[in-house]
A and B are shown apart, each in its own frame.
Chain A
Amino acid sequence: MDGRTRRGTALLDGSRLIAESCARAGADAYIGYPITPASLIYGYASRRFPTILPAPDEITALQWMAGLSAVGKLPVSATSFPGMALMVESINMAAMMELPMLIVLVQRLGPSTGTATAGAQDDLLFLRGIISGGYPLPVFCVSDIDDCWSLPPVAMQTAVDLRTPVVLLTSKEMVMTERSLDMNRLGDIAPVRRRAYDGEGPYRPYDAGEGEAPPFLPIGGDEHQVRMTASTHNADGLLQHSSVEALANSRRLRTKVEAGTPPLYHLDEAEGAEALIVTYGITAGAAREAVEMLKEEGVPVSLLVARTLIPVPDAYYDILARYRGGEKETRVPVVFAEENLRGQLASIMFGERLPAGVRVVGDIGHMIRPADIVQEVLR
């Protein structure tokens, strides 16, 4: 890449890779509002994106993104929980209008303003319920420095293909910590593929035909009238109270995301595994180290690193079932490792009360240590 066949190593933070990756994948605009620890991405984007806009608040940021998306641009923003909380109503709007965009959510220690400069994995449950009605919004999670490079294009392509806002979840330690990186590891990035509606018309903006996501046509063109709305609506984009057609349209918002979000994960299976560790995000590094430590102690352990978090891929249930057995029997323990108090992915998968054989190792205020995971596996 960059014209050199053989490159050296560089000390890089994840923010730089995410910004560059988005730009190469064809992001048109970065809409920014500063917030620690997402501001590094804002800074990089200002030097790299075709255009940036400083918004006066996060509500405006999301509305500007929606407007830009409506006219066919692909906008990106990055924020942290307090900013994301302000964006929620507008994200619902964008999801209902079916407007593609990417929001990078950089987690920091909560609750509330919490500690802006401390990392966390606090926001998955929030994301699971972010759309009124429990509709899923695709959430992909960066689990290592390579993901900072390879996941943004996947997230953006999903946003375009499914006509939806997509969240790329990460955390302070992933985007601000610098790591040595062999530059030869970074593959090429192809621009996101976009196709506009090219039919005879009349264009029906929410008519998905045989598929799940309707073809997109920017608003404001000379050929066809385009209507969009955040209210319950029919295929023409006209507000309706609760007609059969309109409710079917709302139901489609769920099925299109459930059916169309690519299930991305990494599974390392050990023969004769005595446990399965399930993790994502910043804790993935500690989990990998824990697996190595256990191996040295003669305890083979399998590892599932989840990259697609919402909707939870069916594959996760299938994998877990192979390890933990049925409802009553427990073959080997399944240990969720997350930097929060309750195990948020575990909660999404199993509810408030974890079934037998499923355990959580988690804490707040520091990264989960490999030794903590080892201890939980051996308990």
Chain B
Amino acid sequence: MSEFLTTPDFPYCKGCGHHQIARNTVRALEALDFDPLDVILVTDIGCQGIVDRSFATHTIHGLHGRSVALGSGIAMGMEPGKEVVVYIGDGGATIGLQHLLEAARLNVDVTVVVHNNMLYGMTGGQPSGLTPCGFRTVITEEGSPYPHHDLCRLVHEAGAPYARRVLGLGDFSAELEEAFDVEGFALVEVLELCTSHALKMNPGLRLRELAEEADYEPGTWRGEARPAFRLEVKEGSRSSLLDAEQIHETDVRFRSSLDDRVALVLGGSAGEGAQRAAELLARAAMGSGLHATKKGSYPVTVGVGFSTAEVILSRSPILYHGIDEPDGVVITSEDGLKQNRERIEGMRGGTVWLDESLNAPETGAEVRKRNFRERAGGRNAAIYSLLTFVDESGVIPTEALVTTIRESSIEKYIPDELLDPFD
């Protein structure tokens, strides 16, 4: 008995083509001089998946259709020199087609051996995506009306360096050997007939004739040779996400007279810097000795529609960062007004700073119309509106915000004539 095996026999039905695949796998591995522990056999759900116990290699048996993805993860994380052999049936290849294409595209170092008996054998003989037109199965007694996928061509198109289709008769270990030897992704599709289901439904069917009629001709599809995919480890070059400069770490340089808290809502249009402006306000407040939170609210479609930022500035730590009734609302655009109209209408006090172009909703807040958009343009309206807010509310020193802006990456986009009046 081969050192690759733990049992002389395989747990398959008499006459099943799976026997030939297992035997030829062993022959090919022996010919390449592998040691059993050089090989990781990854099996799928289906009859091929019960073979693990017969192999003396490493074995791992996962989910239906996912053995290629599981084997890919294994191959990606291993040092070169090991052979990851992935067994899968035509049913598994159908449900997990994406994994085959992905492994071929990335050139993951696995050899996939497709046990293509053109039906789901373990569950009673239903058709798969590889069942050829006219092939009779338990649920297509008149013959399957659908065309089949051509796996070899699909993985070839996806970038596989090597794809091969063979008839599962006799010795095809040389073809498997060639596949195991490929650097990166290789696929061998072995055509066979399920003795329990295919022959019962298609009496007298011959594999060779079926392959010819169904355009399932044996063949080889060679792609460009390229390095196998390996995990790229960038350990040494990675710097902390908490690097002081990266996170704009700040010390207290200014003094705020705020002794309680202020909750501010800034409403504008997506792409006009509302979130960034609110961040700068929060950082300026932190530089003035306050605690701050900044919550963003926007539709999923980044770049279109409203963009609302909620900022809380507080003398004491902020436990809850929601704003139920704001002290101030700053609106720079129609989008921002629409999104915050209900909130403004519900205000019983506080102040609303509204762009001059907009109509003020009914509100209990004091409304101050200001010229944000015309004066600063859409791009700078948000930051300009917050300068106005800080200047008029006195929550923090205006100098704190101006300094924070000047030290930020957006400084170069802001004309001096906008900032200078606040200096």
Interface residues of A (CB under 8 A from B): 1-2, 4, 7-12, 16-17, 19-20, 23, 29, 36, 44, 47-51, 53, 56-57, 59-60, 63-73, 89-90, 93, 97, 116-117, 173, 176-180, 183, 186, 219-231, 237-239, 285-286, 288-289, 292, 366-367, 369-371
| Interchain residue pairs A-B with the least CB separation, the first 6 | A67-B73, A63-B69, A64-B73, A67-B74, A229-B61, A10-B247
Secondary structure type dominating chain A contacts = mixed
Residues of B within 8 A of A229 (CB): 52, 59-62
Interface string of B39-58 (1 = CB under 8 A from A): 01000000000101100111
User: Which residue of chain B has the shortest Cβ distance to A71 in the bound complex?
Assistant: B77
CB-nearest residue of chain B to A231:
B61
Chain B 190-228 interface mask (CB, 8 Å, partner A; 1/0):
000000000000000000000000000000000000000
B7 → A minimal CB distance (Å):
12
Residues of A within 8 A of B247 (CB): 10-12, 16
* Residue B133 interfacial (CB < 8 Å): no
Residues of B within 8 A of A60 (CB): 69, 98-99, 102
Establish whether residues A51 and B66, one from each chain, have CB atoms under 8 Å apart when the complex forms: no
CB atoms of B75 and A369 under 8 A apart: no
Considering only CB atoms, which chain B residue lies closest to A288 in the complex? B319
Contacts of B292 in A (CB 8 A): 11, 179-180
CA A7 to CA B286, docked complex, whole Å: 13
Residue numbers in A under 8 Å from B78 (CB-CB): 71, 220
How distant is B319 from chain A, measured CB to nearest CB, in Å? 4
Taking a contact as CB atoms under 8 Å apart, the answer to whether B102 and A56 are in contact is: yes
Binary per-residue interface labels of chain B (229-246) against chain A in the complex, 1 for a CB within 8 Å, 0 otherwise = 001111100101111100
Q: Judge whether A285 and B319 touch: CB under 8 Å.
A: yes
Residue of A whose beta carbon sits closest to that of B71: A67
- B63 near A93 (CB under 8 angstroms)? yes
Q: Which residue of A lies closest to B316 (CB)?
A: A292
* Residue B33 at the chain A interface, CB threshold 8 Å: no
Q: Which residues of chain A are within 8 angstroms of B322 by Cβ–Cβ distance? A: 286, 366-367, 369
The 8 Å CB contact of B66, one of A59, A173, A179, is A59
A285 to B63 alpha-carbon distance, docked (Å)? 41
In the complex, A225→B56 CA distance in Å? 7
Q: Decide if B279 touches A178 in the complex (CB within 8 Å).
A: yes
Is B66 a contact of A117 with CB atoms below 8 Å? no
Known: A63-B70, A222-B37. A289 touches B234 (CB 8 A): no
Q: Is B9 an interface residue (CB 8 A)?
A: no
A174 CB to closest chain B CB (Å) equals 10
Residues of A near B99 (CB, < 8 A) are: 60, 63
Distance in angstroms from B178 CB to nearest chain A CB is 23
Q: Is the CB of B60 within 8 A of A219?
A: yes
In the complex the two chains form, what is the Cα distance from A221 to B81 in whole Å?
11
Contacts of A292 in B (CB 8 A): 319
Does B342 interact with chain A (Cβ within 8 Å)? no
Closest chain B residue, CB of each to CB of A47:
B241
The answer to the question of B369 belonging to the interface, with a C-beta cut-off of 8 Å to chain A, is no
**A11 and B241 contact, CB distance less than 8 A:** no
| Bound CA–CA A59/B73 (angstroms) | 12
Q: Which residues of A contact B74 (CB under 8 A)?
A: 67-68, 70-71, 219-220
B245 to chain A, nearest CB (A): 10
Would B318 and A8 count as touching, CB distance under 8 A?
no
Q: Which residues of B contact A71 (CB under 8 A)?
A: 73-74, 77-78
Cβ of A225 to closest chain B Cβ, rounded Å: 6
Interface centre among B36, B74, B98, B102 (most CB of A within 10 A): B74
Looking at A19, A66, A370, the one whose CB has the most chain B CB atoms below 10 A away is A66
State in angstroms the CA–CA spacing of A224 and B37 once bound together.
8
Q: Give the nearest-CB partner of B59 in chain A.
A: A227
Q: Does B251 contact A (CB under 8 A)?
A: yes
Bound complex: CA A341 to CA B56 (Å): 54
B293 shortest CB reach to chain A, Å: 5
CB contacts (< 8 Å) of A220 on chain B: these are: 37, 40, 58, 74, 78, 82
Q: Is the CB of A51 within 8 A of B249?
A: no
User: Are B294 and A177 in contact, CB atoms less than 8 angstroms apart?
Assistant: yes
Tell whether, in the assembled complex, residue B72 and residue A63 are in contact, meaning their CB atoms are under 8 Å apart. yes
Question: Which residues of B are found within 8 Å of A186, using beta-carbon distances?
Answer: 242
Q: Are A66 and B61 in contact (CB under 8 A)?
A: no
- From B35, B249, B290, name the one whose CB has the most chain A CB atoms within 10 angstroms: B249
> Residue B296 at the A interface, CB < 8 A?
yes
Query: CB distance A89 to B63 under 8 Å?
Result: yes
Quick one: which of A11, A239, A369, A370 has the most chain B CB within 10 A?
A11
Given contacts A11-B248, A71-B73, 19 further A-B contacts (CB under 8 A): A2-B243, A8-B252, A10-B247, A10-B248, A16-B242, A29-B231, A63-B69, A90-B63, A180-B285, A183-B242, A219-B40, A222-B38, A227-B52, A228-B61, A229-B59, A229-B60, A229-B61, A285-B318, A367-B320
CB-CB under 8 A from A367, the residues of chain B are 320-322
In the bound complex, do residue A180 and residue B249 qualify as a contact, i.e. CB atoms below 8 Å apart?
Answer: no
Kindly list chain A residues whose C-beta atoms are within 8 Å of the C-beta of B232.
51
Q: Is B299 an interface residue (CB 8 A)?
A: yes
Q: List 22 A-B contacts (CB under 8 A).
A: A2-B240, A11-B247, A11-B248, A11-B286, A11-B292, A29-B77, A50-B235, A60-B102, A63-B66, A67-B69, A67-B76, A70-B74, A71-B77, A93-B62, A173-B295, A180-B290, A180-B291, A183-B242, A222-B38, A225-B36, A227-B59, A229-B52
Q: Give the shortest distance, in Å, between B105 (CB) and chain A (any CB).
A: 9
Say how far B3's CB is from chain A's closest CB, in angstroms.
Answer: 12
Contact mask B258-301 → A, CB, 8 Å, 1/0? 00000000000000000000010011011000111111111110
A239 CB → nearest B CB, Å: 7
Taking CB atoms, residues of chain B closer than 8 Å to A177 are: 293-296, 321
**B250: Cβ under 8 A from any A Cβ:** yes
Question: CA–CA, A8 to B318, complex, Å?
Answer: 18
In the assembled complex, the CB of B72 is this many whole angstroms from the nearest CB of chain A, namely 6
- Give the chain B neighbours of A53 by CB distance below 8 A: 76, 231
The residue on A at minimum CB distance from B291 is A180
B417 touches A (CB below 8 Å) = no
B314's nearest neighbour on chain A, judged by CB, is: A180
Q: Contact: A68 with B73, CB < 8 Å? A: yes
CB of B423 closer than 8 Å to a CB of A: no
Chain B residues with CB under 8 Å of A47's CB are 238, 241
The reply to whether B75 and A67 form a contact with Cβ atoms under 8 Å apart is yes
Measured CB to CB, the closest approach of chain A to B260, in angstroms, equals 14
Q: How far is the CA of A1 from the CA of B240 in the complex (A)?
A: 11
A130 to chain B, nearest CB (A): 15
Q: In the complex the two chains form, is A57's CB within 8 Å of B98's CB?
A: yes
A80 to B299, CA, bound (A): 17
CA distance A7 to B252 in the complex (A): 11
Interface centre among A48, A70, A72, A226 (most CB of B within 10 A): A70
CA distance A73 to B235 in the complex (A): 14
Is B392 an interface residue when CB atoms closer than 8 A count as contact? no
Nearest-CB residue, chain B, relative to A18: B241
Q: Report the separation of the CA atoms of residues A176 and B297 in the bound assembly, to the nearest whole angstrom.
A: 10
